[in-house]
């Protein structure tokens, strides 16, 4: 995808949002036309899948009943429908991050960042450079690039701003979400990303040529199920603002069928909060 996208320093560990460069960062993320990347550190590998759903759908990404943290994302589509494409491109155009216990709601769009709590509402734009700390919330805006957010004692989130050329005939600005320190969320965490915050295990067997010579197929054993997967790459945009970094991963087809609990439509929710 063209246009100016976000550049991010290496992020995690400290409340300020910066980590030591020597440590590999394992994270789960969703970016692009929702590409989910699940790091599996003990395998030094990753699993990925896409969710194909209509613009306007709101997906439950993270839901932790113990810490009260939820993250939902609303899909937007391209400016016009491409009648030739079998699947329309969708992206996250709005993210809602909340801590129910602390009564904090943060709404992020490609235009602005709005914080709502008991004291009222505060809004910033992506043109601001802001570091804000208040009870239960740390927020850092890297102007026109990214937002680092920690709510309560839970995980930190990095939201990357993808900006396209204003007069682009097709694409709109959109957001990517990267979760760091997900071990700080409880074992009851669920959602399209949240269910993978607990250690997962898989075995890859029978690697063989697939329909694309550059991308072999294989059989993945996951929770006693056999899934057909394809070796491919997804983009991590945290470091390279335009081109992204290729992350090799095993791609699970059909909206993550067999990998995610239930089916992807189970994760459609009625609103951002």
188-201: pLDDT as tens digits? 999 999 999 988 99
Distance set, CA 243 to CA 146, 174, 235 (Å): 16, 15, 8
What digits encode the pLDDT tens for the residues 37-94?
A: 999 988 999 999 999 999 999 999 999 999 999 999 999 998 877 666 666 789 999 9
pLDDT of residue 165: 85
141 and 113 in contact (C-beta within 8 Å)?
yes
Those residues of the chain that have pLDDT short of 50 are 1-24
What's the token pair of residue 168?
A: 């682009």
Residue 244: its pLDDT value, please?
82
Q: Is 125 helix (H, G, I), strand (E, B) or coil?
A: strand
Give the C-alpha separation, 27 to 88, whole Å: 27
Phi, psi (5° rounding) for residue 229?
-125, 160
Which pLDDT belongs to residue 12? 28
Q: What is the structure's pLDDT at 69?
A: 95
**pTM score of the predicted model:** 0.87
Tell me, what's the pLDDT at 235?
84
């Amino acid at each position: 995808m063209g246009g100016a996208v976000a550049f991010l320093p290496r992020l995690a560990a400290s409340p300020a949002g910066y980590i030591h460069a020597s440590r590999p960062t394992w994270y789960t993320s969703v970016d692009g036309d929702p590409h989910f990347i699940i790091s599996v550190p003990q395998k030094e590998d990753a699993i990925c899948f896409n969710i194909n759903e209509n613009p306007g759908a709101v997906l439950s990404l993270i839901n932790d009943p113990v810490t009260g943290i939820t993250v939902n994302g609303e899909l937007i589509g391209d400016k016009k429908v491409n009648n030739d494409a079998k699947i329309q491109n969708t992206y996250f155009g709005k993210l809602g991050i909340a801590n129910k216990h602390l009564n904090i709601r943060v709404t992020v769009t490609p235009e602005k960042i709005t914080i709502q709590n008991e004291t009222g509402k505060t809004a910033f734009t992506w043109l601001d450079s802001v570091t804000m700390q208040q009870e239960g919330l740390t927020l850092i805006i890297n102007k026109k690039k990214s937002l680092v957010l920690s709510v309560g004692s839970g995980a930190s989130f990095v939201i990357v701003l993808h900006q396209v050329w204003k007069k682009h005939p097709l694409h709109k600005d959109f957001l990517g979400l990267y979760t760091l320190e997900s071990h700080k969320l409880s074992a009851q965490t669920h959602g399209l990303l949240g269910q993978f915050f607990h250690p997962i295990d898989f075995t890859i067997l029978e690697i063989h040529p697939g329909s694309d010579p550059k991308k072999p197929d294989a059989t993945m054993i996951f929770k006693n199920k056999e899934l057909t997967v394809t070796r491919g790459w997804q983009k991590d945009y945290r470091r390279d603002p335009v081109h992204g970094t290729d992350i090799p991963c095993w791609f699970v087809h059909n909206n993550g069928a067999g990998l995610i609990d239930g089916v992807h439509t189970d994760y459609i929710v009625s609103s951002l909060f």
